[in-house]
Amino acid sequence: MAVRTDRGAMTSRSRIRCRLFAFIFLAAACSSNTGPNPPPPPPPPPPGAITVTAPGKDSVPTGAPLQLEATFQDTASKGSPWSYTIDWGDGANSNGTKSSITPITETHAFASEASYSVKITVTNHLGTAGTASVPVTAMAPVILAAGDVSDCTRTSDDSVANLLDTLEGVVMPLGDNAYESGTPQQYADCYAPTWGRQKGRTHPVAGNHDYYDTSSTGAIGPYGYFGYFGAAAGDPAKGYYDYAIGSWLVIVLNTGSDSPPNYAAGSPQEQWLRAELASHSQQCVVAMWHHPRFSSIACRAPIRPEVGPLWDALYQYGADLVLNGHDHAYQRFAPQKPDGTLDATFGIREIAVGTGGGETLYDLGPTVPNLEVRNNTTHGVLKLTLRAGGYDWRFIPVPGETFTDSGTGTCHGRPS
């Protein structure tokens, strides 16, 4: 009986404890439930959809800047900021960010002739992306060249500048770019409103009139020339440089100082020229400077001796073409050796294009050996197409004029 009484007592205590725990739990639950359950959090906003558009571009000359402008729209209410990537299709990429929906503008130059698919990708901060693709064909590079360019007292430079507005390619003024003295003021007032409209695609050459500036320091120098063109004109202490375009090496030399020691045999410039010719692998070479080696202009020497060392180096390394200004006319010569003898196999063709519009054209003198075409009545530019393995030239006159000249040439190796 005592055993039964103890078990009954323990059972009663257990029931009391359970009721107590239940009461405490219910009281706690009631004290924490002060109202209806809160609503669930709102779902995250949709990531939106991005639409990218870009105008097509059928073709662009190799080496010339292609300016791409793309636009985009985003349906996300809070998509900012946006990042973008442009895959140019040739291994190069451009990247950037946008804090607002504004056009994306980037510039690129293709080095080789080919067809490319340019892909633009825009991504918002939520991770949603949109893309667009633009087909572009990079054609053989084109150079547009003429010397003796701008003069505020004339209008012929305006006519040539208007012609440039209609042509695609790399613009190369062949010296004497701002008359009369190449001062900063003359570059600002005369060159900038005309040929300066093409500044973004220009590789300049220095002429002697670009070295007549005494306005800045009292000493003669090319202050306007280097101040205006900046890095595009090369090191101001040198004024010569080169660049590759397609399968061509383009060499810009500096005879603007009119000081023969600056380009004599053994000079730093002549030694640099030889080193560049030896180190580059391009199949074809065109060189440019202001003063022509050969000329048929009245009162000019038929052969200018001081630029002979430049011709010697170029001939020895198999250069194909030389462009010059200085003599205000158009003159094209057959391929020649440095001494002016005909060489159809390894000779260098000279085309002197002093027709940029800055000055009146010069009188012609007696004909000279290997002169093929000349004209002293027409302003205009030389369009030089640099194909793989060869080149095409065409002189394009200003509107209203009829003279033109065109032809084709083949690149060659070094003479044996």
**According to the model, what pLDDT value does residue 16 have?**
40
Q: For the chain, what is the radius of gyration of the CA atoms?
A: 36
| pLDDT at site 18 | 42
Distance, in Å, from the CA atom of 309 to the CA atom of 382, rounded to the nearest integer, reads 25
Residues 6+ apart with CB under 8 A from 171: 144, 145, 164, 195, 198, 201, 202, 203
Query: Which pLDDT belongs to residue 57?
Result: 72
Contact between 336 and 384 under an 8 Å Cβ cutoff? The reply is no
- pLDDT (0 to 100) of residue 64: 74
Q: What's the pLDDT at 5?
A: 43
Label the pairing between strands 284-288 and 248-252: parallel
Q: What pLDDT shows up at residue 60? A: 85
- What number of CA atoms fall less than 13 Å from residue 371's CA on the CB side? 19
Of 348, 330, 329, the C-alpha closest to 339 is 348
- pTM for this prediction: 0.76
Residue 136 and residue 59 in contact, taking contact as beta carbons nearer than 8 Å? yes
Domains of the chain: 50-139 (2.60.40.10), 142-410 (3.60.21.10)
Q: Which residues contact 72 (CB under 8 A, 6 or more apart)?
A: 50, 51, 52, 53, 82, 84, 101, 104, 122, 130
Strand pairing report for 93-98 and 82-87: antiparallel
Task: Give the β-pairing of 349-353 and 59-61.
Answer: unpaired
d(CA 411, CA 193): 37
Residue 43: the pLDDT is 64
CA dihedral 135, 141, 142, 143 (to 10 degrees): 140
Q: Which two tokens stand for residue 402?
A: 């009829």
Separation CA 167–CA 10 (nearest Å): 108
Question: What is the structure's pLDDT at 45?
Answer: 54
Q: SS3 for 79-90, per residue? A: CCCEEEEEECCC
Name the residue with tokens 């009986």: 1
| Dihedral angle computed from the Cα positions of residues 379, 385, 386 and 390, in that order, rounded to the nearest 10 degrees | -100
- pLDDT the model gives residue 47: 65
Per-residue pLDDT tens listing for the chain (416 residues): 444 444 444 444 445 444 444 444 333 444 444 556 777 876 665 567 999 999 877 788 777 778 999 999 999 988 899 999 999 999 999 999 999 999 999 999 888 888 999 999 999 999 999 999 999 999 899 999 999 999 999 999 999 999 999 998 899 999 999 999 999 999 999 999 999 999 999 999 999 999 999 987 788 999 999 999 999 999 999 999 999 988 899 999 999 999 999 999 999 999 999 999 999 989 999 999 999 999 999 999 999 999 999 999 999 999 999 999 999 999 999 999 999 999 999 999 999 999 999 999 999 999 999 999 999 999 999 999 999 999 999 999 999 999 999 999 999 999 98
* Spatial distance between the Cα atoms of 288 and 323, rounded to a whole number of angstroms: 5
The C-alpha angle 150, 151, 154, rounded to 5 degrees, equals 115
